Amino acid sequence: MTATFTDIVAPKDAGKPLYDFLRSLFPYLDTAVWQAFEATGSVQIDGQLAEGNPELVAGQVLDYRIANYAEPEVDTQWQLLWEGADLIAVHKPPSLPVSRTTRNIHNTLVQLVRRQSPWKQAHLLHRLDLDTGGIVLMGKDQQAASHWQPKLAELMQRKIYHAVVEGCPPWHSHELQCKLNTLADSPIRCQMHVVADHEKGKASHTRFRVLGRGQDHALVECQLVTGRKHQIRAHLAHLGHAIVGDKIYANGGDFYLKRLADAVTDADRARLGARHHLLFAHEVELKLSQDAPELVVTNSHYSEDWLEFCRRHQLPLD
């Protein structure tokens, strides 16, 4: 396919030659495809065709196309949930990365929003894990993102996730406060672990409430009080109720390691129970100014995997 990209030059990239910068964004692109792209010289900088290989300036907008481009397929059906004066809330499907990865550069949430909406310079305010679906807040441009990112804790007054978990918790509601940190001897370097109070770690706090029970699974509401990496996933696994489909925090992390080796089988997927983990950013309460009333944005665009699993195990669909 011919892939269309829009990138905005960050301050750290100012002064770099145009094609050195672009090449750094595509470290795994086939050499022949890259050479053909360079030969066309069809990069636009702020709407004007670039000449030669100019040094970049922070804030410049680059538009370009790469022919014969290929990357893994993902669900690209993002949706606009709410629009404010300088912010938007959008639905991110599971499997869609929020921003570029080593595997996906063209089809990411940021690139899709920039290509398919009026907000050609949209910026993320926060992130969701690759497999997590739900609400993502974005600034309509760099200025909006720069204004709101330092105020994110004030802006997002309440964050509610839904999770389908293994087993049925013995409690109706539960609150967990603990420290989270990585472990030096863990084979999965990104995995977070609950550590003792006297150990080094970051304070974390989640409130849980059971919304529905099946025979072997439950639907749980998760309210983030803090926002640590993998917080909900690590907390639920620590409580003995890992999220269905979680490749890191269920089954000893075996399926995450197998995925890194491209060795996940159909039998493995069946055991996981879903193609992605069943964690969903369902609701956020926003405070746009001191005098403004709270604004609640909700999202019920659950994936087919989510809906099918809930039907099969007689759980509420939301």
pLDDT, residue 190, reads: 87
Q: Which residues contact 186 (CB under 8 A, 6 or more apart)?
A: 193
The CA distance from 118 to 111, in Å, is 12
Q: Which residues of the chain have pLDDT under 70?
A: 257-264, 318
- The one-character DSSP state at 293 is P
Name the nearest CA neighbour of 124 among 99, 106, 158: 99
Average of per-residue pLDDT values in the chain? 92
pLDDT, residue 76, reads: 96
Tell me the β-bridge partners of 45: 48, 62
Name the nearest CA neighbour of 164 among 18, 312, 306, 11: 306
The CA distance from 217 to 167, in Å, is 5
B/e letters for 279-295, b = 16+ CB within 10 Å, e = fewer, are bbbbbbebbbeeeeeee
Q: What is the CA radius of gyration of the chain?
A: 21
pLDDT, residue 261, reads: 59
User: Domains, the chain, ranges and CATH?
Assistant: 3-66 (3.10.290.10), 159-281 (3.30.2350.10)
Residues belonging to the chain: 318
Name the nearest CA neighbour of 3 among 25, 18, 20: 25
pLDDT, residue 28, reads: 78
Structure tokens at 62: 């680059």
The Cβ of residue 273 has, within 10 Å, a number of other Cβ atoms equal to 20
The CA distance from 244 to 216, in Å, is 11
pLDDT, residue 254, reads: 73
pTM metric for this prediction = 0.86
Name the nearest CA neighbour of 88 among 134, 124, 138: 138
